[in-house]
């Protein structure tokens, strides 16, 4: 299994979505990019350079944020896909002409979950499927699983729903936790 980590090439907003504790770490460095309107488009490296950080300091910041990932409550590195959800995904893929694609589960910049068809998974993404509908393949990154691991994707009332197991691995909204509230 791949080790979850952020890079200086990720946008600030992406980092904050995946590692909510990163905001406090950035503040310790005197960086406020996580609250800046440009944080959705500028990378951590770009934001740091705008504030005159040298490369060594940027690397230390990235290392500290990655250390926070290791200290966060562990969530299961799994996603359960119900048969209804898998059939729904398969139907949408067929309608969009993407039956040969995979589905990526990701967390958006607002903390919601998104589903997106792609040709191939990214390196290190983990494969999930539903035994009753084996032709539908779902992937998620280790970082995404740090936020939604252990979840079940279901289809109810014509919509996909992500159910998180609140009793397992949830930080209960603790400021140093996984960010679920």
Tokens of 153: 């994707």
Q: Nearest 10 degrees: CA dihedral of 126, 131, 135, 136?
A: -50
Provide the strand spans (E) within 27-157. 79-81, 102-107, 113-118, 126-130, 133-140, 151-156
| Rounded CA separation 159/88 (Å) | 9
Q: Where are the domains of the chain?
A: 12-71, 79-163
What's the pLDDT at 132? 96
Q: What's the residue count for the chain?
A: 181
Q: Vertex 162, ends 159 and 166: CA angle to 5°?
A: 145
DSSP labels for 3-33?
Answer: PP---TTSBHHHHHHH-TTHHHHHHHTT--G
pLDDT < 50 positions in the chain: 1-2, 167-170, 172-173, 175-178, 180-181
Name the superfamily (CATH) of residues 79-163. HesB-like domain (2.60.300.12)
| Rounded CA separation 12/112 (Å) | 17
pLDDT digits (tens, 9 = 90+) for 43-90: 999 989 988 999 999 999 999 999 988 787 788 899 999 999 999 999
Q: Which of 72, 180, 88, 74 is nearest to 130 (CA)?
A: 88
């Amino acid at each position: 299994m791949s080790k979850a980590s952020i890079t200086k090439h990720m946008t600030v907003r992406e980092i904050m979505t995946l590692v909510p504790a990163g905001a406090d770490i950035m503040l310790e460095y005197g960086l406020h990019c996580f609250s800046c309107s440009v944080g959705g488009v500028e990378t951590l490296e770009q934001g740091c350079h705008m504030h005159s950080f040298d490369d060594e300091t940027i690397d230390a910041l990235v290392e500290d944020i990655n250390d926070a990932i290791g200290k966060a409550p562990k969530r299961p590195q799994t996603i359960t896909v119900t048969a209804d959800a898998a059939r729904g995904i398969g139907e949408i893929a067929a309608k969009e002409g993407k039956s040969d694609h995979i589905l990526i589960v990701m967390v958006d910049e607002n903390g919601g979950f998104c589903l997106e068809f792609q040709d191939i998974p990214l390196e290190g993404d983990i494969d999930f499927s539903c035994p009753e509908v084996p032709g539908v393949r779902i992937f998620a990154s280790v970082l995404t699983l740090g936020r939604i691991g252990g979840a079940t994707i279901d289809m109810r009332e014509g919509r996909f729903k992500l159910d998180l197991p609140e009793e397992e691995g949830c930080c209960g909204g603790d400021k140093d936790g996984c960010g679920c509230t």
